[in-house]
């Protein structure tokens, strides 16, 4: 049995009021949908940029790390030959090798050599245990650059992940706005005012809650 639809002026006024409310809800939901689509695309581009940047920084970090390893091998080789020359008391060869130490290795070597002089004065062997490479003063620039680039790469990747989460949440808000559009649109096709009013109330709750969540998306995505 079809619902009874009165034709009084009160009915027409109420129907007109509900149509106005539904139109307002449709307008707000349409604006919210457009905003969420734009922000989702914007954050998606940020994600892509940060992921590319992170990959580039990781590649640069790997190159710097490879360069640091090669330089460390040179330092170790020269120092090992210097030790052999010292053990053979070949001062000429030891001096020749020492003059060819890299500048980044010299501070650590000199600090280590000072330890050798102190121990020699105390009656210990002229070469102390350990190596200059274990001292804090041995800080090759390439190794520092590799570590710094690796940290920047991780930070960029984390930014990309955050941007991805924000973009995904904006898509979710877009779905909620679409549900609001559906409810408000269907309400305009129903003659029974009680049913229409109920759908409009639900649509209004959807649009208010979704708008509130949309404002909080950048904060709730962390």
Q: Which of 125-129, 164-168, 175-179 has the lowest mean pLDDT?
A: 125-129
What are the sequence ranges of the domains in the chain? 9-105+140-220
207: left (phi over 0), alpha (psi -120 to 50) or beta: alpha
Q: Which of 208, 158, 153, 203 is nearest to 181 (CA)?
A: 203
Please return the burial class of 122, using the count of CB atoms within 10 Å of its CB with bins 0-12, 13-18 and 19+: exposed
By the 8 A CB rule, do 128 and 165 touch? no
* DSSP H helices in the chain: 9-87, 91-99, 106-121, 141-187, 193-220
Q: Once rounded to an integer, what is the mean pLDDT over residues 6-16? A: 76
- What confidence tens digit (pLDDT) does each residue in 143-174 have? 999 999 999 999 999 999 999 999 999 999 99
Token couple for 95: 């001096």
Residue 181: band (very low, low, confident or very high) from pLDDT cuts 50, 70, 90: very high
Is the pLDDT confidence value at 11 over 80? no
- CA-CA distance, 174 to 25, in Å (whole number)? 15
For residue 112, which phi and psi values (nearest 5 degrees)? -65, -40
With cut-offs at 50, 70 and 90, classify the pLDDT of residue 53. very high
Opening angle at CA 209, ends 208 and 211, nearest 5:
65
Ordered DSSP codes for 97-132: HHHTS-TTTHHHHHHHHHHHHHHHHTT--SS-SS-G
Q: Which of 180, 183, 182, 175 is nearest to 217 (CA)?
A: 175
Rg of the chain taking only CA atoms, in angstroms: 36
Rounded mean pLDDT, 73-89: 89
Model pLDDT for residues 92-126, shown as the tens digit of each residue = 898 899 899 998 899 898 888 887 664 444 444 45
With a pLDDT cut of 90, the percent of the chain lying above it is: 57
Most distant CA pair in the chain, distance: 118
| 133 DSSP 8-state letter | G
CB of 126 within 8 A of CB of 116?
Answer: yes
């Amino acid at each position: 049995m079809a619902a009874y639809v009165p034709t009084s002026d009160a009915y027409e006024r109420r129907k007109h009021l509900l149509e106005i409310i539904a139109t307002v809800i449709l307008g707000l939901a349409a604006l919210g949908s457009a905003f969420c689509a734009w922000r989702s695309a914007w954050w998606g581009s940020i994600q892509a940029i940060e992921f590319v940047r992170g990959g580039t920084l990781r590649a640069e970090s790997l190159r710097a790390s490879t360069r640091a390893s090669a330089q460390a091998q040179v330092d170790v080789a020269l120092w090992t030959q210097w030790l052999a020359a010292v053990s053979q008391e070949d001062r000429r060869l030891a001096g020749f090798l020492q003059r060819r130490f890299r500048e980044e290795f010299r501070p650590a070597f000199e600090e280590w050599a000072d330890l050798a002089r102190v121990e020699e004065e105390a009656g210990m062997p002229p070469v102390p245990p350990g190596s200059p490479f274990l001292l804090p003063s041995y800080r090759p620039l390439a190794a520092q650059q590799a570590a710094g680039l690796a940290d920047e790469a991780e930070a960029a990747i984390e930014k990309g992940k955050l941007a991805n989460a924000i973009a995904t949440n904006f898509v979710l808000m877009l779905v909620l706005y679409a549900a609001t559009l559906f409810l408000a649109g269907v309400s305009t096709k129903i003659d029974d005012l009680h049913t229409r009013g109920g759908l409009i109330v639900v649509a209004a709750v959807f649009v208010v809650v979704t708008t509130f969540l949309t404002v909080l998306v950048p904060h709730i995505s962390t």
